[in-house]
Structure 1
């Protein structure tokens, strides 16, 4: 029966093997912080989002998301606009350069995950995905 130490070791090994311990590079090898890559992905998938919605999706603090969006704006990848229905709200959306960056990142991510999946035996794939879902649910706040 596995205990918390074994889980800690297994998760740590996965984080290192996948490359999540390198904060200034994505696991697919792009020279961009992982948090920026996740923000680009969310904005590319759903278009303009309220900054507060981005905060929730990324599971970050408001101030961290604000700094993150500022970094995307400074790179020319995103822009902030006032929310049309609430003067205090802020919408964040990708610029054409941001859309291009998100597209390139998505291609690199797809290639990386395809290569990983190819190395997982087909009969084990559903179990791997199920285990990841269980771990994700277990980490959610009650």
Structure 2
């Protein structure tokens, strides 16, 4: 971390750049994913994590997604009502723990989201000049680390 405070103009450039990226990437559109799926971004992220880690409990899902307990509870309720997630009594030694699993419909949708995400990332990566790809990945990593440490 730098010992000098950032220049105001640089902070404004960062702000403008992040806002421009959010808009260009489509993150400001609440009812669809940047990869073109017609579900909210939060639900797509939850489906992706469930597909990778199931069974998982709500607390673990919330921690992974960096969402509050109440937000995760609402999110899981939405996924359950849509028939994409089911709650099961825990099998890992504690029958009181509720675990989350994708339903067959949830599995299919999670797979479709993963495929669409991969295609979008490939398309974006192809548009970055090869000589600048490493720099782009490094910049995203630095921003992610800074945002993580800011919370």
Question: Shorter-chain TM-score: which interval?
Answer: over 0.9
Of 53, 58, 65, the residue aligned with 1:51 is 58
Residues 93-108 of structure 1 correspond to what in structure 2 (within 5 A)?
93-108=101-116
Match of 1:140 in 2: 148
Which moves more between the two structures, 14-23 or 44-53?
A: 44-53
Checking the alignment, whether the CA contact within 8 Å between 1:51 and 1:89 is kept in structure 2 is: no
2:123 to 97, 112, 115: 115
CA contact (8 A) 1:80 1:92 kept: yes
What does residue 14 of structure 2 align with? 7
State the Cα distance separating 1:88 from its structure 2 match. 4.4
1:67 partnered with 2:113: no
1:3 Cα offset (Å): 1.7
Shift of residue 87, structure 1, vs aligned partner? 4.6
User: Which protein shows a greater Rg?
Assistant: 2
How far, CA to CA, are the matches of 1:11 and 1:88 in structure 2? 43
Displacement of 1:86 in angstroms is: 3.2
Q: Unpaired runs of 5+ in structure 2?
A: 1-6
Over the residues paired in the alignment, what is the CA RMSD in angstroms? Answer: 1.4
More strand by share: 1
Residue deviations 1:64-85, cap 9 Å, x none? Answer: 0011011111111110112233
1:30 aligns with 2:37: yes
* The one of 135, 138, 145 aligned to 1:130: 138
For structure 1, which runs of at least 5 residues remain unmatched after alignment?
A: none
